[in-house]
Structure 1
């Protein structure tokens, strides 16, 4: 039902995983090595094209499980395609051309639903694709039903969209933003903003900052009146907004001082703030939770599919997902991975306080309705682009 309130169990699960991370030091680590994949010994392709997002996130994937996998399989060549932002359009086009060139595609939860509904992504049995936890718990239980949002979705991480802001803006007269709605306050916090060039998150934040309760956001967006309310709120900052399309855009704009506020993925901001030591801070208020994971294109060749399955068995195991959190501040999708999250691989800092799932960061978090976006993304995209062109 279109007006149905999104499942708050996801929020409870995310907060719970953050709490687990905070007590990780007292947890007993287990050996994260997996058993041999079910397709071991079967004919496999020696090339694999992986589609991801580029930047710090793709780098964390490379270090946490692609490089270790290639050390075990030196005969394999991996090619990266940084097209995840356009994964739905890309997979549609490849299917229509009967020419599937991608082997494994990193997507958000809502896009996984869309691709699954359209028959473009392969349905999977998570217990046949992903290894059990070290204690023998099946993958389906270790991930949990709140992560398994689609029959085609293989979860990796929980992350959030949030804002970074410059800490050295003289025109702010010492004021510090603390609320998502400060983004819409040009009087107290003058300067250019960067927002993603799509309706996702922007519409929700606009309604929340125009007085709509979080639980009522998607009911409002189902109506013409609600959408116009969101656009009217966005109109108040439209002429002060730079519209981004790639995750690297906002960090670069903030670093260059081209914008004073900017939305992006929390992991990108972590890299900018902690690794690059830029004069930027994270604003966690009303961070928008999302899930990210893999889908396998439908109609993949047998040898290509065997290679993908072998890789996924390794790349989504307990230790590998925990290892990814050494490089970027995203929460691993497996419950068994959380106690293994520790320090940053090179900086030596505790990663738990930087996670979106940390309770101190999640006091006013917003959980996206993935199913709603899967149903309405195309229509609202068109409406949003028409608004931008006005």
Structure 2
């Protein structure tokens, strides 16, 4: 009897030790999923490697394109293999509404005031600021340089084709700013029928000169081939073309439409506390400032902005000079209005 009891106790003790050891082993590894390329390489050098050096926690990396279906499948199956994801605003808002991400107590990371405007969300913590801008080939543009959305639509001063993203999102806002609407009033205006009409009327003025693009790599190709005089583009793509490929392209920051990438924690990960530890580490100004030198994104932490090298900073969306007449993308507006505005946009394209 005593022998049997001792044996049972030994088995329970052994199983408990194995379970504890497994828990500790899992706690020493975190799976983080991001967007690959130079962006993720920059995260690895600026954030992941220093985090591992400080904590001993290994970062296992994966890549994705922001497909919510992948997170949804994990959550529904209760089989979470990603502990932390880098995600864009629209998908964060949709995923949060759907319950795919854990809520984050921002006080465990810092103060909401630490972040650039709009940089907190119930399910996410902003990490990087990127922008929709327009760019031109400085070797072809002439002595007068465009500097605003209005200049993009000025085909008399700068004749030639314009590259535009084939979607109503950002294009309609850009058209309204070109027509004189202040950034603070853009979404209020676009929420009205008169405002929508005004945006399309402005687009009418250059419709015959538009070359549409759909993939992020296309604007750089359009400039390289000379098909367009200027084109809207993702700021990071132009940054890479200039700094990695040595192209003579110039970015126009006037009326940029900026957006953010966020850290989000898939609901049900057993490593939420460790994920929060990484987010807190990555949100330190002295850490996040280093991401900017790898790719053309700005830090989402206000105190990190002046820490970025001045030559690098002037080419980032978060430079104070570049934010003067900028517009923050309103993901909730597009969640509410995309279907109706896209229907109008597609009908306008077909005319």
TM-score range, shorter chain: 0.7 to 0.9
Matches within 5 A, 1:214-229: 214-229=183-198
1:266 aligned residue (217, 231, 235): 235
State the Cα distance separating 1:280 from its structure 2 match.
1.1
Aligned partners of 1:184 and 1:236 also within 8 Å? yes
Q: 1:242 to 1:122 in 2, by over 3 A?
A: farther
TM superposition score normalised by structure 2: 0.77
- What is residue 325 of structure 1 aligned with on the other side? 292
Aligned partners of 1:124 and 1:152 also within 8 Å? yes
- What is residue 132 of structure 2 aligned with on the other side? 161
Asked if 1:244 corresponds to 2:213, the answer is yes
Asked if 1:195 corresponds to 2:164, the answer is yes
- What is residue 46 of structure 2 aligned with on the other side? 64
Q: 1:189 to 1:273 in 2, by over 3 A?
A: same
Aligned partners of 1:331 and 1:355 also within 8 Å? yes
Asked if 1:120 corresponds to 2:110, the answer is no
Matches within 5 A, 1:3-18: none
- What is residue 122 of structure 2 aligned with on the other side? 151
State the Cα distance separating 1:150 from its structure 2 match.
1.5
CA distance in 2, matches of 1:160, 1:109: 12
CA distance in 1, matches of 2:74, 2:163: 32
State the Cα distance separating 1:229 from its structure 2 match.
2.8
CA distance in 1, matches of 2:236, 2:58: 32
1:108 aligned residue (88, 109, 121): 88
154-163 or 249-258: bigger deviation: 249-258
- What is residue 180 of structure 1 aligned with on the other side? 149
CA distance in 2, matches of 1:295, 1:389: 39
Asked if 1:210 corresponds to 2:179, the answer is yes
Aligned partners of 2:34 and 2:63 also within 8 Å? yes
Aligned partners of 1:289 and 1:367 also within 8 Å? yes
Superimposed CA distance per residue, residues 168-192 of structure 1 (whole angstroms, 9 cap, x where no aligned partner)? 33xx664432331222233432333
CA distance in 2, matches of 1:98, 1:256: 49
Q: 1:245 to 1:180 in 2, by over 3 A?
A: same
Q: 1:342 to 1:312 in 2, by over 3 A?
A: same
Aligned partners of 1:142 and 1:336 also within 8 Å? no
Aligned partners of 2:31 and 2:61 also within 8 Å? yes
Query: How many residues are matched?
Result: 328
Superimposed CA distance per residue, residues 299-327 of structure 1 (whole angstroms, 9 cap, x where no aligned partner)? x3325x46544543433333321111222
Q: 1:99 to 1:188 in 2, by over 3 A?
A: farther
Aligned partners of 1:220 and 1:226 also within 8 Å? yes
Q: Secondary structure at the match of 1:325?
A: helix
CA distance in 2, matches of 1:62, 1:223: 44
Q: 1:78 to 1:332 in 2, by over 3 A?
A: same
Aligned partners of 2:127 and 2:283 also within 8 Å? yes
Q: 1:193 to 1:341 in 2, by over 3 A?
A: same
User: Structure 1 or 2: larger helix share?
Assistant: 2
Superimposed CA distance per residue, residues 53-72 of structure 1 (whole angstroms, 9 cap, x where no aligned partner)? x4443332232123444667
State the Cα distance separating 1:382 from its structure 2 match.
4.8
Superimposed CA distance per residue, residues 227-278 of structure 1 (whole angstroms, 9 cap, x where no aligned partner)? 2332333244344434334433323432343432122233332232244321
Question: What RMSD over aligned residues (CA atoms) do the two structures have, in Å?
Answer: 3.4
1:78 aligned residue (61, 66, 71): 61
Asked if 1:43 corresponds to 2:26, the answer is yes
TM superposition score normalised by structure 1: 0.70
Aligned partners of 1:142 and 1:334 also within 8 Å? no
State the Cα distance separating 1:361 from its structure 2 match.
2.9
CA distance in 2, matches of 1:182, 1:321: 34
Q: Secondary structure at the match of 1:351?
A: helix
Q: 1:375 to 1:297 in 2, by over 3 A?
A: farther
Q: 1:217 to 1:45 in 2, by over 3 A?
A: same
Aligned partners of 1:147 and 1:333 also within 8 Å? no
Matches within 5 A, 1:132-151: 139-140=110-111, 143-144=114-115, 146-151=117-122
